[in-house]
Chain A
Amino acid sequence: MSAASPASRWRGPLQLVAKRIGLAFVTLGLVSAVIFTISGLLPGDAAQELLGQGATPEQIAALRSEMGLDRPALVRYFGWLRGIVIGDPGKSLVANMPVADIISERLPNTLVLAGLTTLFAVPIAFLVGIWSAVTRGHAADRALNIMTLAMVALPEFLVATIAVLVFSVKLLWLPSITIVPQDPTLVEFLRAYAMPVMVLGVGVIAQLGRMIRAAIIAELDRPYVEMAVLKGVSQPRLIFRHVLPNAVGPIVNAMALSLSYLFGGAIIVETIFSYPGLASLMVNAVTSRDMPLLQACAMLFCATYLFLVLIADTVAILANPRLRQG
């Protein structure tokens, strides 16, 4: 019955968040083990592969010890993990330069593309989601539902192809390759990014919009909503004051998924538009079987994913009085 003091009021949620952070690190550790096992231990001998069929056993042995492949698996794993943690995941086998340098060159591009797409797509997704939730079952909702359903299922290269055909081939408005000039003017900048942002945005709007709709509708079916209606609460107040605060958890979670998709999942879009981001870098690493680069990219994407989900969890905990009070 006694009111908790301000300090102790925050202890519950902080403990909960701290637990989530710990859990995220444990998961990341397990993920690193999975990735290293798959890409570093299972595929056989990297030295053999680098040197090709013609190499003598001595050459192979020499390269193996140079690459440290003759050490026990656990030692190799922890060596690799240490490299990742201190920000030096080794040297690229193909480009022959530090992986860290390659990644740090590409990272800003990915962040710009992801950021622009977020700015473009998230507000529209909210509009779509809220609008179809409040018009549930009516014509507007049904039309939006079919549209987003189709957009979710379209392969990205089809959307990209159509966009190129329309805007580059037929209308000649936009370039079909995304090259960002040095010191661009705002118009140049927007023109350069218009197509990849549009294509990525289609997927995000559809996916996120549908999840927002689902989250709101799940709340609309709860008894407190009927009670609010019977109190005479207006529709906007119902949505913004009563329903959305309760739907924060699933919505931020959906946003975390969308953002992580933008960060590491833009593989097709980056490839089609020859955009120098991290996703296309990872594809190159797969094609050239450049394992150190591949592993670093994979770890970066997984860490981002876990980080975003962690943020979403934290927001959900703080938004929920029951969890907030431990």
Chain B
Amino acid sequence: MSSTRLFRAVARLPLSGKIGLVLVIFWIVIAAIGPFIAPYPPGSFSNQEVFSESSSEFWLGSDYLGRDVLSRLLSGARFTVGLSAVAVAIAASIGTGFALMAAVGPHWVDELLSRAMDTLISIPSKIFALVLVAAFGSSLILLTVIIAITYVPGNFRIARSLAVGLARLDYVEVARARGEGRLHLALVEVLPNMIRPLCADIGLRFVFIVLLLSGLSFLGLGLQPPDADLGSLVRENTSGLAEGALAIIAPAVAIASLTVGVNLLIDAATQGKAR
């Protein structure tokens, strides 16, 4: 029953949305199985030639050290997708959790949280991330936490306005008048009605996170070697830019296809609902 509904929803998506969906599924699959289908270990110097063209052995050619670009891409994609997904999950849990507290809690909780988040949101997210990286460095875990923290205020702002709007509705008032506790109000009455719009916000935030993470890695401030995400791959191979090497184009296009795919899907899904 629900699978046919899902199927129908997918069938109703416009072409751009279907393309987006295919791209998103593609990258989720790659992130899951990428390392297992990689032809070479990502760190091995498997090719004598650097910046080689595409060939039957090296589909995406080799990089500035002669490593297989495809293999490195497959493992880089796992870092990019995985780390961003974890970060967005943390950011959304904290942001939405706070938002629910602000919506059903006493007034001062809302005041306090909103004041704090307003302060944090006045620090542009890239700047905030840079300050945090400068202060704490960027190990894998720290980087995830830093990026998550950077996007908490944005998620809070959206989720709070949704939650406060919903908490004013009569069905929440009725539950309140019945004597229901705050946890029930937040989780049973308010949260289920936020999920749809929140999904769109989380998707967009995932895109921002992918862009921020690869930007940081591109600047050398993100993931540190030997780990490499897609942004690191672009950075490593900047010397190939003048020749237009696949080693620099492929990871950049990979990021773009991921972010554009998510954006297309969200846009199609939200418009379909509005119409």
Contact = CB atoms under 8 A, between A and B. Distances in A.
In-complex A–B contact (CB below 8 Å): yes
Interface stretch (A151-159, A180-188, A226-234): A151-159
B218 A268 contact: yes
Interface string B102-125: 000000000000010011101110
A164 B263 contact: no
Return the 3 tightest CB-CB contacts between A and B, nearest first. Answer: A153-B259, A158-B252, A30-B119
Nearest to B126: A265
Interface stretch (A37-45, A110-118, A123-131): A37-45
B133 interface: yes
B263 A153 contact: yes
Contact of B215 (A156, A164, A170): A156
A161 B241 contact: yes
B144 to A, nearest CB: 17
Interface residues of B, number: 43
Given A39-B134, A282-B130, A302-B127, A149 B263 contact: yes
B22 interface: no
B9 interface: no
B260 A154 contact: yes
9 contacts: A27-B122, A31-B119, A34-B119, A34-B123, A149-B267, A155-B214, A161-B252, A283-B130, A297-B127
A264 interface: yes
Interface residues of A, number: 49
Contact of B221 (A34, A287, A302): A287
A238 interface: no
Nearest to A170: B244
Interface in B4-62: 16
Nearest to B275: A137
A97 interface: no
Contact residues of A: prevailing secondary structure: helix
A275 B242 CA distance: 18
Interface string A243-268: 00000000000000000110011011
Interface in B238-275: 241-244, 248-249, 252-253, 255-256, 259-260, 262-264, 267
Contacts of A103: none
B241 A42 contact: no
A179 interface: no
Nearest to B263: A153
Contacts of B118: 27
Nearest to A266: B126
Nearest to A279: B126
Contacts of A146: 16, 264
Interface string A31-73: 1001100110011000000000000000000000000000000
B33 to A, nearest CB: 24
A298 interface: yes
B201 to A, nearest CB: 14
B199 interface: no
A158 B119 contact: no
A31 B123 contact: yes
Contacts of A289: 134
Interface string A301-316: 1100110010000000
B94 interface: no
A155 B211 CA distance: 6
A18 interface: no
B263 A152 contact: yes
A38 B123 CA distance: 13
B130 A302 contact: no
Nearest to A145: B267
A283 B219 contact: yes
A75 interface: no
B149 to A, nearest CB: 10
Contacts of B100: none
A161 B218 contact: no
A294 interface: yes
A165 interface: yes
Interface in B40-99: none
**Most chain B beta-carbon contacts within 10 A, residue among A157, A264, A268, A309:** A157
Given A155-B255, A169-B243, 6 more contacts: A39-B135, A155-B256, A164-B241, A176-B241, A267-B126, A283-B221
Contact of B131 (A158, A164, A294, A309): A294
A34 B120 contact: yes
A306 B264 contact: no
B252 A298 contact: no
A19 B260 CA distance: 41
Interface in A268-291: 268, 271, 282-283, 285-287, 289, 291
Contacts of A294: 130-131, 134
B269 to A, nearest CB: 13
A286 B264 contact: no
Nearest to B230: A155
B250 to A, nearest CB: 11
B135 to A, nearest CB: 4
A150 interface: yes
B145 interface: no
Contacts of B248: 161
B220 to A, nearest CB: 7
Contacts of B124: 260-261, 264-265, 301-302, 305
